[in-house]
Amino acid sequence: MEAAETAARQALDLDRTGTRPKMLLGLVLLIQYRFTDEAEHSLRKAESDFPEAHLLLAHLFWARGTLNDSREKINEYLRSGDTLWTPLATAWLKRLDKAQRVVAQSR
């Protein structure tokens, strides 16, 4: 994965304004379980061109424990008009509902 991260950073150095290198860097960081501000920033910059960036951000927020932010990103994906990952997004919303019910019951 280090090679992939290096390649993503090199692509970003070559194209500071494009969203593809930002998307790639954000994805590579998430694959490495690095739910950092840098990953979030990169994916936010890519959202306008890559609807699936919403889902990657949802995963990042879920990993951080900010479930409401995760839910919002899933809903943004569903509103984007992209349908490739709709079944996954819908399943995640159901899991999120269940997780939030469990948390509410434990209080």
Mean pLDDT by 10 residues, the chain (107 residues): 93 94 98 98 98 98 95 98 98 93 86
Q: What is the pLDDT of residue 106?
A: 86
Question: Six-digit token pair at 107?
Answer: 């209080």
Rounded to the nearest integer, the mean pLDDT of the chain is 95
Give me the pLDDT at residue 102, please: 87
pLDDT at 107: 81
Please state the pTM of the whole predicted model: 0.93
